[in-house]
Structure 1
Amino acid sequence: MTILTPSMVSGTDDQRYDESTNITKSNDNAPAGNLPAHLVALDVDGTLVDHDGMMSDAVRAAARETVAAGHQVIIATGRSLGALLPVVKQIGLQRGFGVASNGGVTVRLDPSLEWGYEVIERETFDPRLALTALRERLPGARYAVEDVHGNFLATERFQDRSFGIEARGVDFQHLLGLEAVRVVVNSTDSSTAEFAAAIAECGLQGVTYSVGWTAWLDIAAAGVSKATALEKLRSRLGVQQSHTVAVGDGNNDIEMLTWAARGVAMGQANEAVRAAANETTASVYDDGAAHVLRSLL
């Protein structure tokens, strides 16, 4: 595991830390005037893009303007790294940080790096107990594991765009021996309610998990969430807690919305997500994220 160091986030050629304002500023992308920069954490699916994976022109423009204004925009997504990077590119974010795999992977973005980024932290866990318990309750489900090297291995030709890369087919037993960053479970023969009930009956221990709006389950290491990764970045970037904003729509965004000083739920979010937020914006189909971002400009 690689730990963030102060040299990664302050005092470099790309960024400087202004002690008088407690803000990390980019030399070529500083906030206008003396306005404080915010750390702006943005979910992807259901927030920046709709459920068909499309980002509207209004959202793209607002996100680009927020980046250009000097705010610390951080994409925080359940998607894995390969599926995070195209979104970063769409909003014009070249320097800064990104959080993938529900907090399991944190990357530093820098165009001078060979790939334009580097992984600075991975949170891993042993998935054996969780997978075994789930298999007993959901024998017909599809299973995938993101390993410590960023590869995806999956049963039954399981593939999803959130993986970011093509999954390699393996049998279920092979998954039990992996060191995991992310585990995904999807049932095609259960309703969302039936799936959620089966998960509850498993009594998963030693992991963090969230059930999606379909029969979908994401699992991360115990105590790991988007919020835990964002708090590490907030501390190291020197952004005051009062200057944190988060926007999301899913159950995996609840901790992030609670963590932020200004947590904003998307209009289509369920009741639990809206209850965790300070406010609710318009739905993803009405450019709700754009309304929030423009309020910062």
Structure 2
Amino acid sequence: MARDSRKLIALDIDGTLVTYDDVLSDAAREAVAAVRAAGHHVVLASGRSLIAMTPVAAALGISDSWIVASNGAVTARLDPAAETGYVLERVETFDPEPVLRMLKEELPHARYAVEDVGVGFRMNELFPEGELNGEHRVVDFEELWAGQVTRIVVRSPGETSAEFHEIAARLGFDDVTYAVGWSAWMDIAPQGVTKASALERVRAALGVAPEDTVAVGDGSNDIDMLRWAGRGVAMGHALDAVRDAADEVTGGIDDDGVVAVLRSVV
């Protein structure tokens, strides 16, 4: 296949490739393999940390592609020859102190964590098991801003997603980018950093034409990615705002909707 005919297919993980119980179907695995066998680039793009994404890449048989982690703050290139199995290509960071101070006033009982790339998280108290990967180190709240970080994770079960949006709007997060999850969960990244901003650099590095990009996702953190792609596809169970950002809608996660998209590529 000629290089200029290859497509870049960006895939969200949770709710797109794997179920919310972290199950990857055989059909999805086979569809990804078929797309790669046809010569296209499959790039995982997730809010997950890098160390939570590499096992998914391994399960898909991907050992030599790019990965966009932490909602775009971390871009890595898988490399079997590297000691960790990957090479960090770009890491975007910011000073978490101002945002953490503001949020602590609004949400004093919330759980807060900051990411240590390739290691795990520092947090003011432990998160429920399975929600964050890697090493978990509980520290004093002030230690969360001991240095620049790629992202802040806020978990506050007492608030709804709508209330999180309202708090973020009221605080005026001018210097950061935020995304609210399905529950009372917020990811905060450096200003202007999204899956789309990282994928655009990957696209340029791979030499793929903008119109040859495909993206599939289901969450609010996928909206920019779906708008960026030449063909943005929302999962059928996605919220209206996500569906509205897409060019088309496929089946939901229970129907393996991503499989239909992948098959259409080949």
Same fold flag (TM > 0.5)? yes
Post-superposition offset of 1:160: 5.8
Secondary structure of the 1:246 match is strand
Cα deviation, 1:242-265, whole Å, max 9, x if unaligned, reads 110000000100010000000000
Secondary structure of the 2:113 match is strand
Secondary structure of the 1:229 match is helix
State whether structure 2 residue 58 is matched by structure 1 residue 86. no
Identity, in percent, stands at 51
Unaligned runs of 5+ in 1: 1-17, 24-35
Indicate the residue corresponding to 2:113 in structure 1: 144
The correspondence for 1:231, drawn from 176, 200, 207, is 200
Contact 2:175 2:190 in 1 (8 A): yes
Distance in structure 2 (CA, Å) of the matches to 1:191 and 1:254: 20
Secondary structure of the 2:135 match is coil
Contact 1:264 1:277 in 2 (8 A): yes
Unaligned runs of 5+ in 2: none
Indicate the residue corresponding to 1:186 in structure 2: 155
Contact 1:105 1:123 in 2 (8 A): yes
The correspondence for 1:108, drawn from 44, 63, 77, is 77
Distance in structure 2 (CA, Å) of the matches to 1:55 and 1:218: 24
The correspondence for 2:235, drawn from 260, 266, 269, is 266
Contact 1:190 1:215 in 2 (8 A): yes
Q: Given residue 46 of structure 2, which amino acid in structure 1 is its aligned partner?
A: T
Secondary structure of the 1:107 match is strand
Cα deviation, 1:232-251, whole Å, max 9, x if unaligned, reads 01111110111100000001
| Runs of 4+ in structure 1 over 3 Å off | 147-151, 159-163
Pair 22,57 (structure 1): closer, same or farther in 2 beyond 3 Å:
closer
User: Which has the larger displacement, 229-238 or 114-123?
Assistant: 114-123
Cα deviation, 1:72-98, whole Å, max 9, x if unaligned, reads 100000000110101101111111210
State whether structure 2 residue 135 is matched by structure 1 residue 166. yes
Contact 2:9 2:40 in 1 (8 A): yes
Indicate the residue corresponding to 1:126 in structure 2: 95
The correspondence for 1:213, drawn from 163, 182, 206, is 182
Contact 1:210 1:251 in 2 (8 A): yes
Distance in structure 2 (CA, Å) of the matches to 1:195 and 1:228: 24
Contact 2:51 2:118 in 1 (8 A): no
How many positions carry a matched residue from both structures? 266
Distance in structure 2 (CA, Å) of the matches to 1:205 and 1:159: 30
Pair 111,235 (structure 1): closer, same or farther in 2 beyond 3 Å:
same
User: Which has the larger displacement, 239-248 or 145-154?
Assistant: 145-154
Contact 1:83 1:161 in 2 (8 A): no
Choose 1 or 2 for highest CA Rg. Answer: 1
TM-score (norm 1): 0.86
Indicate the residue corresponding to 2:14 in structure 1: 45
RMSD between superposed Cα atoms in Å: 1.6
Distance in structure 2 (CA, Å) of the matches to 1:43 and 1:149: 20
Indicate the residue corresponding to 1:26 in structure 2: none
Indicate the residue corresponding to 1:255 in structure 2: 224
Cα deviation, 1:42-74, whole Å, max 9, x if unaligned, reads 000110011111111211111122122211100
Secondary structure of the 1:92 match is coil
Distance in structure 2 (CA, Å) of the matches to 1:40 and 1:97: 11
Distance in structure 2 (CA, Å) of the matches to 1:156 and 1:112: 36
Post-superposition offset of 1:112: 2.3
Pair 205,159 (structure 1): closer, same or farther in 2 beyond 3 Å:
farther
State whether structure 2 residue 77 is matched by structure 1 residue 70. no
Post-superposition offset of 1:117: 1.1
Distance in structure 2 (CA, Å) of the matches to 1:160 and 1:238: 40
Indicate the residue corresponding to 1:31 in structure 2: none
TM-score (norm 2): 0.95
Post-superposition offset of 1:109: 1.1
Pair 77,143 (structure 1): closer, same or farther in 2 beyond 3 Å:
same
